[in-house]
Structure 1
Amino acid sequence: MVSLLPGGNTASATDNLGLNVKGAILIDADSGKILYEKNANEALGIASMSKMLTEYILLDAINDGKVKWDQKYKVSDYAYKISQDRALSNVPLRADGEYTIKELYEAMAIYSANAATIAIAETIAGSETEFLTLMNKKAKEIGLKGYHFVNATGLNNAQLQGMQPKGTSASDENKMPAKSVARLAYHLLKDHPEVLKTSSIPRKTFREGTDDAIKMDNWNFMLPGLVSEYEGVDGLKTGTTDYAGQCFTGTAKRNGTRLIAVVMHAEGAAHIARFKAARQLFDYGFGQFTTEEIVPAGYTFKKQRSIAVKNGKEKNVKIATKDSISMMVKTSEVDDYQAKLVLDKESLNAPAKKGTVVGHVQIDKKSGKDYGFIDGSVSGADVVTAVTAEKVGWFSLTLKKIGAFFSGLF
């Protein structure tokens, strides 16, 4: 293993932030590096944070041309009845009304409107029951673990007036570990960064200029101008039920660095405790971590600068890192990280093009706790051939085989 970072003193700062929550996690939105976690693997109620997955599936469908923003939705009896329950977060829908997908999406993303979310699920899959299949498929595709979905909204099924998706329990609720919630947000922002254009809107009027106009205040109070505002926050999704408690997946960007914080079942003042916990996480991340280059592009490891080549003009070919590897590390622990070469094969068969993957880089921490990456490993860690390994000509190859034959006899 080769240490590539400048010297420094090992941090003694504690990772215990004193968060009054059942689960939490903080990650770098660029590399997926986990900076902090607390009980991040226990499946807990996620409430309306479920809508991030509904948003993901909708934005996929928009990109694929399966759904259009100006497409009209005719209100189902189910969506209408749920929309009239003002004890829930909702924009009331007319039984005979038609609404564009764009209107419904904004109501879902800004105001966490539940009937609007059901309408989107019905538009994409025909019914919320069928939409659950898409939710589970997408969850598996992006590698979520410990998830359990019973509806598209995150409400407790008991709140769906007996119309919950078929095959689900009448009092069940969506669950997922904080780590999977963070992974969902991480992939959502990677694949659909445009989601922030809507999640960052603090206030908007639904159906402005009509008799149905209703003011929508974003439930994310950390947005600029709202009661718990925090510099750089532009998303992402809150959630609250009796079972899940106060939940929040927030994201903030400062000086080119974007963080994702997930808070599960925060304890404290109504609707404010989750933002207090998120603030602690953001302060910790922005205040104590910096992005460092761990390995430069084209780096060769001293103990393994090349790999053997069979039937090649040269016996060995040079190998090096394909890309640079950067990640967030605690500023006071910058010298604790080491890059280790892991070869996936002992040799190559010629011919092999320049850039052939032969292994990867593993990042290890010499001491103390390291939480790893939200996707399991650092991205951009391929080790490749630095030049083409050309195959030896047939005549030379024949002579080699004859020589090998006779050397075997003696």
Structure 2
Amino acid sequence: MHFNKYKNAKHIYWGQNLRWRYGKLKYNVKKYFSLLLVSLLIMMSIITQPLSAQAAESLDLNAESAILVDGETGKVLYAKNADQALPPASMTKMMTEYLVLEAINNGDISWDTTTQISDYPFSISANPLFSGIGLTQNKDYTVRELYEAMAVFSDNATTIALAELIAGSETEFVKLMNQKAEEMGLPEYKFVNSSGLDNESLGDNRPEGTEPNGSNLLSAKSAALLAYHLVNDFEEALEISSKTKVEFEGYTVENLNWMLPHEATFLKAFHYEGMDGLKTGNTELAGYTFTGTAKRDGKRLISVVMKTSSKEERFQETKKLLDYGFNQFENQELFSAGYQVEGESAIPVAKGKEDTVDVSIKEGISIPVKPEDAEAYSIKYNIDKDKLNADGKLTAPIEKGEKIGTAELVFDGETNYGYIFSDSNKTVDLVADDAVEKSNWFMLTLQSIGDFFANLFTTAVDWVKGLFS
């Protein structure tokens, strides 16, 4: 009886113990399974992010210098040593392209204008070290033929032939190049020839007034600004630079830009969607350079990489830049037309029927931004000092829509690269929302009397205070 009682109690104990252990095991399994599930979800969220998004803030570019620019607004999205002047090699030809297209646009020449090859470009063409297209003397070449060979195959001899056609000699053409660079506002530049070859390679043919061992110089910022003008001023530039191949002298020549949709299998890996330009470059001094431009969903980006170590690398680094721009930035209207800064919209007016006038921005401000940075932008008013009297008031009459200053876009975030044009922020016109008529002479007289007594009272109060101070 006692044994059975003990046996039953033991069974109850072990049953309870087993249930407890089972419950604990079940709890631990649930706990670890939950932790495992959370870990898997975190890993999946990381894996499913675009690779460019993960590395966005740490663009480890294998280039001496680089820049990324929005092709519409000129806003700089990324920069690395972008103000450092370096040899651009054949990216120099972008300036030659611009001057040729400008001459066509001005009616000085046409695409069908013909020219023949002088001894200088012929000697460059015949030199195997320059790996150009073989030219023939005493033969007419059209501007289109020469331009396509220059823009697509980066041919040096055809570039020089175009320079001679436009300016009479490469010496005079180089003067035009530097003048245009100044006109464009390129911050760092020096042009010594039209092709991008080192002057040492040209020997006695180097343009007069340039150093025997001279080289063209551009910063990445200057190259991007030059490209910005080229693609925005002349649509033809992209129509030609986007061609994967052209016919010349009975031969088919391939575009040196591997990021275009080439047919060759080994180049397909470099194809970049939306790519349509712009210019490669390579010399021993410059290394491998590339100014690229691509357009996706209506958004155009311009990139420059300078002094990379190989043909492949210049395109790989360009892909990093463009991916960063397309994946991390979106065009947003930060402030719409008519926006007013809270508490600062009313400007005092002197000699008017109204004491103040409301002001607002004339047009909306849209720029490419990272979504998380949108709140870091604000507007700062800059009233035209010439429109203010000694008391800091606008003087009536004031017309509706009259410009009374500018509104400056200010970024309070960590990194602001500014714009390709200058280091200043974007500005729009600040205008009066309503008209303010000038008050009649009677009201002005009453106002003057009121001001007189107000000033007199203030002076008296200050005098009394002075007695007890």
What is the TM-score with the length of structure 2 in the denominator? Answer: 0.78
Asked if residue 329 in structure 1 is aligned to residue 376 in structure 2, the reply is no
Query: Would you say the 8 A contact 1:360–1:381 is kept in 2?
Result: yes
Asked if residue 61 in structure 1 is aligned to residue 103 in structure 2, the reply is yes
Alignment partners' CA distance in 2, 1:83 and 1:353: 65
Displacement, 1:23? 0.3
**Counterpart residue number, 2:415:** 369
Alignment partners' CA distance in 2, 1:264 and 1:324: 35
Q: SS of 2:204's equivalent? A: coil
Query: Would you say the 8 A contact 1:80–1:95 is kept in 2?
Result: yes
Displacement, 1:92? 2.2
**Counterpart residue number, 1:209:** none
Aligned in 2, Cα 1:303/1:66: closer, same or farther, shift over 3 Å?
farther
Displacement, 1:337? 2.3
Aligned in 2, Cα 1:202/1:364: closer, same or farther, shift over 3 Å?
same
Of stretches 177-186 and 272-281 in structure 1, the one that deviates more from structure 2 is 177-186
Asked if residue 383 in structure 1 is aligned to residue 430 in structure 2, the reply is yes
TM-superposition CA deviations, 1:225-278 (whole Å, max 9, x none) = 2611111100011111111110000001111111111000112xx311100000
Q: SS of 2:159's equivalent? A: helix
Alignment partners' CA distance in 1, 2:257 and 2:240: 12
Aligned in 2, Cα 1:20/1:12: closer, same or farther, shift over 3 Å?
closer
Alignment partners' CA distance in 2, 1:301 and 1:14: 33
TM-superposition CA deviations, 1:294-341 (whole Å, max 9, x none) = 111111222221334455443433321111111111233332222322
Alignment partners' CA distance in 2, 1:218 and 1:367: 41
TM-superposition CA deviations, 1:62-114 (whole Å, max 9, x none) = 11112211111122221221122233242222221111111111111111111
Alignment partners' CA distance in 2, 1:407 and 1:340: 31
Q: Specify the code of the residue in structure 1 equivalent to 2:433.
A: A
User: Which residue of 218, 221, 239 maps to 2:281?
Assistant: 239
Aligned in 2, Cα 1:19/1:391: closer, same or farther, shift over 3 Å?
same
TM-superposition CA deviations, 1:37-85 (whole Å, max 9, x none) = 1111111110111111111112122111122111111222212211222
Asked if residue 272 in structure 1 is aligned to residue 316 in structure 2, the reply is no
**Counterpart residue number, 1:162:** 204
Query: Would you say the 8 A contact 2:70–2:76 is kept in 1?
Result: yes
Answer 1 or 2: which has greater strand percent: 1
Alignment partners' CA distance in 1, 2:365 and 2:302: 20
What is the TM-score with the length of structure 1 in the denominator? Answer: 0.88
Alignment partners' CA distance in 2, 1:400 and 1:302: 30
Q: SS of 2:311's equivalent? A: coil
Alignment partners' CA distance in 2, 1:202 and 1:254: 19
Of stretches 161-170 and 75-84 in structure 1, the one that deviates more from structure 2 is 75-84
Q: Specify the code of the residue in structure 1 equivalent to 2:335.
A: V
**Counterpart residue number, 2:256:** 219
Alignment partners' CA distance in 1, 2:95 and 2:153: 16
Of stretches 174-183 and 84-93 in structure 1, the one that deviates more from structure 2 is 84-93
Alignment partners' CA distance in 2, 1:251 and 1:175: 21
Query: Would you say the 8 A contact 1:89–1:112 is kept in 2?
Result: no
Alignment partners' CA distance in 1, 2:314 and 2:407: 37
Displacement, 1:349? 4.5
Alignment partners' CA distance in 1, 2:128 and 2:274: 32
Of stretches 146-155 and 400-409 in structure 1, the one that deviates more from structure 2 is 400-409
Alignment partners' CA distance in 2, 1:37 and 1:115: 33
Query: Would you say the 8 A contact 1:33–1:372 is kept in 2?
Result: yes
TM-superposition CA deviations, 1:350-408 (whole Å, max 9, x none) = 4454433322232223231111111134556222223444455xxx1476258637964
Alignment partners' CA distance in 2, 1:62 and 1:287: 38
Aligned counterparts, 1:18-97, within 5 A: 18-97=60-139
Q: SS of 1:179's equivalent? A: helix
What are the ranges of 5 or more consecutive residues in structure 2 without an aligned counterpart? 1-52, 457-469
Query: Would you say the 8 A contact 2:89–2:281 is kept in 1?
Result: yes
Aligned in 2, Cα 1:336/1:109: closer, same or farther, shift over 3 Å?
same
Of stretches 141-150 and 12-21 in structure 1, the one that deviates more from structure 2 is 12-21
Of stretches 295-304 and 380-389 in structure 1, the one that deviates more from structure 2 is 380-389
Q: SS of 1:152's equivalent? A: coil
Alignment partners' CA distance in 1, 2:337 and 2:73: 16
Work out the percentage of aligned pairs sharing the same amino acid: 44
**Counterpart residue number, 1:404:** 448
Aligned in 2, Cα 1:407/1:259: closer, same or farther, shift over 3 Å?
closer
Aligned in 2, Cα 1:302/1:170: closer, same or farther, shift over 3 Å?
same
Answer 1 or 2: which has greater helix percent: 2
Q: SS of 2:189's equivalent? A: coil
Alignment partners' CA distance in 2, 1:95 and 1:265: 35
Query: Would you say the 8 A contact 1:294–1:339 is kept in 2?
Result: no
TM-superposition CA deviations, 1:155-176 (whole Å, max 9, x none) = 1112223201001112211111
Report the number of matched residues: 390
Alignment partners' CA distance in 2, 1:382 and 1:251: 31
Query: Would you say the 8 A contact 1:91–1:214 is kept in 2?
Result: no
Asked if residue 175 in structure 1 is aligned to residue 217 in structure 2, the reply is yes
Q: Specify the code of the residue in structure 2 equivalent to 1:367.
A: G
Query: Would you say the 8 A contact 1:121–1:128 is kept in 2?
Result: yes
Alignment partners' CA distance in 1, 2:133 and 2:402: 55
Query: Would you say the 8 A contact 1:322–1:380 is kept in 2?
Result: no
Of stretches 11-20 and 218-227 in structure 1, the one that deviates more from structure 2 is 11-20
Alignment partners' CA distance in 1, 2:367 and 2:332: 6
Query: Would you say the 8 A contact 2:340–2:359 is kept in 1?
Result: yes
Q: Relative contact order (alpha carbons < 8 A, sep ≥ 6): 1 or 2 greater?
A: 1
Alignment partners' CA distance in 2, 1:407 and 1:324: 40
